[in-house]
């Protein structure tokens, strides 16, 4: 077991039963001209998560641990996008409309793709999801069960919406969840801070949070001092 200095208390995980889930690091949410900006958001806030996510991916890849990416997107005919979702808010462009990077949040369009710095490599799993949570209307639950996964390490955007929703879905399904603090972002810094507090409140009611350095230190410590057999 690898032990991480986390909040609200130490987090332990078995790498053989652990997966990294990187939520929605997509151009439509992170780059200028995408859906996030059409909602009136300052996408520069999202840039802070790119390097930490890239470093977290590198750590998991170096160890050969399971990596899963998600993309929020919809079918071209919007058959999986209910009106209650498409009509919500006051964006300048709605889901399915033509934007600078193709149709907004439509599967296969350039804007719906993961940014190059965090793009999947060969062999990594990509889950396309029509909702905020990665378990809704996807095969994620079956995929994790087939691989015997019990622990999920989370990164991605946005902290308070798709990341937190997926963590709560995972918690309800019995997974132990750790969110890497720098590797997630919100358009609203105060929303990120509140979400981190909610996740680890009441003794970790949803899960744990930790800085990336804590995970790196835990791995280095484990490498220096292998568990006794």
Pick the catalytic residue: 28, 128, 129, 132? 129
Catalytic-residue membership of 80: no
Catalytic-residue membership of 24: yes
Catalytic-residue membership of 129: yes
Pick the catalytic residue: 24, 81, 132, 192? 24
Q: What is the DSSP string of the chain?
A: -EEE--BSS-EEE-GGGEEEEEE--BHHHHSTTSHHHHTT--GGGGGGGHHHHHHHHHHHHHHT-EEEEEEE-B-TT-TTS-HHHHTSS--SS-TTSEEBTEETTBTTSGGGSBPGGG---TT-EEEEESSSSSSTTSSHHHHHHHTT--EEEEEEE-IIIIIHHHHHHHHHTT-EEEEEEEEEE-SSHHHHHHHHHHHHHHHHSS-EEE-HHHHHHHHHHHHHSPPP-
Pick the catalytic residue: 81, 118, 162, 177? 162
Catalytic residue numbers, as ranges = 24, 129, 162
């Amino acid at each position: 077991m690898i032990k991480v200095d986390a909040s609200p208390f130490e987090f332990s995980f078995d790498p053989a039963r652990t997966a990294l889930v990187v939520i929605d690091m997509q151009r439509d949410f992170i780059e200028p001209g995408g859906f996030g900006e059409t909602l009136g958001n300052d996408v520069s806030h999202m840039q802070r998560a790119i390097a930490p996510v890239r470093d977290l991916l590198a750590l998991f890849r170096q160890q050969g641990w399971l990596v899963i990416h998600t993309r929020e997107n919809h079918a071209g005919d919007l058959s999986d996008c209910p009106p209650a979702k498409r009509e919500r808010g006051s964006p300048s462009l709605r889901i399915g409309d033509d934007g600078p990077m193709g149709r907004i949040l439509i599967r296969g369009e350039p804007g719906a793709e993961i940014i190059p710095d965090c793009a999947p490599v060969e062999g990594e799993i990509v889950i396309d999801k029509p909702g905020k949570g990665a378990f809704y209307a996807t095969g994620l639950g079956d995929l994790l069960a087939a691989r015997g996964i019990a622990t999920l390490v989370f990164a991605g955007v946005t902290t308070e919406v798709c990341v937190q929703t997926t963590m709560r879905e995972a918690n309800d399904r019995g997974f132990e969840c750790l969110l890497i603090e720098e590797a997630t972002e919100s358009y609203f810094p105060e929303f990120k801070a509140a979400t981190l507090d909610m996740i680890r409140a009441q003794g970790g009611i949803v899960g744990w949070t930790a800085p990336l350095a804590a995970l790196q230190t835990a791995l280095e410590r484990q490498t220096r001092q292998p568990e006794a057999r």
